[in-house]
Amino acid sequence: MLPVALASAVVVGLTAGAAQAGEVEVLHWWTSGGEAKAAAALKATLQAKGHTWKDFAVAGGGGDSAMTVLKSRVVSGNAPAAAQIKGPSLQEWAAEGVLANIDDVAKAEKWDSLLPPVVANVMKYKGNYIAAPVNVHRVNWLWANPAAFKKAGAKVPTNWDEFFVAADKLKAAGIIPVAHGGQNWQDFTTFESVALGVGGADFYKKALVQLDQGALKSPTMTKVLTTFKKVKDYTDKNAPGRDWNLATAMVIKGEAGMQLMGDWAKGEFIAAGKVPGKDFSCSAAPGTAKSFTFNVDSFAMFKLKSEANVKAQKDLAAAIMSTEFQEIFNLNKGSIPVRLNMDLSKFDDCAKLSSKDFVDTAKSGSLVPSIAHGMAVPSAAQGAIQDVVSQFWNSDKMTATEAMDKIASAAKIH
């Protein structure tokens, strides 16, 4: 038996420890195979600090459903501690006065010197950090099944002309050329890669970042829309409503030849035990090898009342930027670390290419924010343009000119 004094000291010690431990409720939409593994790494990181993880997963690729649920929770005064919020939406949430200032963590951990300025600026509101970034996803990728391409005698395309040549060959070989999920955000993901490949980075920036009316109503935009719509001819009839990871599974199994999707798709290939360069290939979406559409996932921190939970929230923010977490999380997620100067020796060639292109395109001016993934424009304009893009994709009647006019009007919404 412990002497009484020692026993009570132990109890006091335990209680003090317990008072430090908090709970962090984390809203995210990482529910696919690869995503869930990455989310598990986040959970383990928090638990290793002695805190409790409360999972708040809202299924739905691209996060549209998650954002709807988040709004209702915050409106009813019951915000989670952390939520996956990205790009300009961070500023919108911060302007509502609901986000916490985590500058103390950022200063102690030297985030300003560890993050590319293009990322750090987005994580700050009025100069203060309000969110912690986890990764850099590249959106302009083309995923292909080499065995399917071999069977079809096709070559992985590097521009849009070659894309349709390869698609025809895959079709002739009885393979679905393009694995697609007909959900608005997936249509929009395809659209932005076509816009970048057909129009180039300068056009992309003018039209889809600056929302310049001249660029939105231009012959280049007509060409983008026509090319985009043509891709649909190479998707299958079961595409409507399909989740993105099920589309990826079609490429994994060789039922489909290729998929246009961000590198969270790589997380699915990896989770299925597939090897890059052998079982699947990653290459820039046609015509976009010299550009990079970035999509940075980040966790916004909400204002909390409980001191213990604030401590847990700050521990989470600090852990997210640690080299250990950045490595394990991104190996599973398919993205690259957002923290600069990381050792990438455990990463595959897709990630290494992504990292090189991220740096190169930042220098050349062809690093552009993804509009489909909430990086480029305010959420209202993004949603309105996305809706028109999907209407056009799904309509048998709407012409490219009509779509162009509607997109230009949608771009004025804020």
3-state SS of 309-330? HHHHHHHHHHHHCCHHHHHHHH
Number of H helices, E strands in the chain: 19, 15
61 binds ligand BGC (CB under 6 A): yes
> Of the candidates 25, 35, 327, 357, which one interacts with ligand BGC according to CB under 6 A?
35
Nearer to ligand BGC by Cβ, of 111 and 185: the residue is 185
Strand partners, 25: 54
58-66, 304-312, 322-330, 355-363 -> range binding ligand BGC (CB under 6 A): 58-66
Q: How far is the CB of 86 from ligand BGC (least distance, A)?
A: 6
CA distances from 322 to 21, 37, 127, 134, 267 (A): 20, 18, 22, 10, 21
259 binds ligand BGC (CB under 6 A): no
Q: How far is the CB of 372 from ligand BGC (least distance, A)?
A: 8
DSSP states along 334-363: SSEESSTT---TTS-HHHHHHHHHHHHHHH
| 3-class secondary structure, 25 | strand
DSSP H helices, 121-237, are 146-152, 160-172, 184-204, 213-216, 219-232
348 binds ligand BGC (CB under 6 A): no
Q: How far is the CB of 282 from ligand BGC (least distance, A)?
A: 16
42-50, 57-65, 272-280, 345-353 -> range binding ligand BGC (CB under 6 A): 57-65
63 binds ligand BGC (CB under 6 A): yes
Q: How far is the CB of 345 from ligand BGC (least distance, A)?
A: 24
| Pairing verdict, β 52-57 and 23-28 | parallel
Chain positions 10 to 29 lying near ligand BGC, rule: CB under 6 A, are: 29
Q: How far is the CB of 303 from ligand BGC (least distance, A)?
A: 24
> Of the candidates 37, 373, 386, 408, which one interacts with ligand BGC according to CB under 6 A?
373
Q: How far is the CB of 93 from ligand BGC (least distance, A)?
A: 16
330 binds ligand BGC (CB under 6 A): no
133 binds ligand BGC (CB under 6 A): no
Residue nearest to ligand BGC (CB): 264
Ramachandran angles phi, psi of 173, nearest 5°: -90, 5
Q: How far is the CB of 20 from ligand BGC (least distance, A)?
A: 31
37 binds ligand BGC (CB under 6 A): no
Angle at 224 between CA 221 and CA 230, to 5 degrees: 140
Contact 338, 326 (CB under 8 A): yes
Residues listed for the chain = 414
Contact 243, 181 (CB under 8 A): yes
190 binds ligand BGC (CB under 6 A): no
Nearer to ligand BGC by Cβ, of 70 and 403: the residue is 70
Nearer to ligand BGC by Cβ, of 29 and 393: the residue is 29
> Of the candidates 259, 288, 295, 382, which one interacts with ligand BGC according to CB under 6 A?
295
Size of the site for ligand BGC (CB under 6 A): 10
> Of the candidates 268, 297, 315, 327, which one interacts with ligand BGC according to CB under 6 A?
297
Contact 309, 23 (CB under 8 A): yes
CA distance 174 to 151: 10
| 340: Cα separation from own chain's centroid | 18
Nearer to ligand BGC by Cβ, of 295 and 309: the residue is 295
264 binds ligand BGC (CB under 6 A): yes
61-69, 111-119, 124-132, 359-367 -> range binding ligand BGC (CB under 6 A): 61-69
393 binds ligand BGC (CB under 6 A): no
Burial code of 299-325, b = ≥16 C-beta within 10 A, e = fewer?
bbbbebeeebbbbbbbbbbbbbbeeeb
19-27, 60-68, 114-122, 251-259 -> range binding ligand BGC (CB under 6 A): 60-68
169 binds ligand BGC (CB under 6 A): no
Q: How far is the CB of 94 from ligand BGC (least distance, A)?
A: 19
CA distance 60 to 30: 8
137 binds ligand BGC (CB under 6 A): yes
Burial code of 235-250, b = ≥16 C-beta within 10 A, e = fewer?
bbeebeebbbbebbbb
Q: Could you list the residues that contact ligand BGC (CB under 6 A)?
A: 29, 35, 61-63, 137, 264, 295, 297, 373
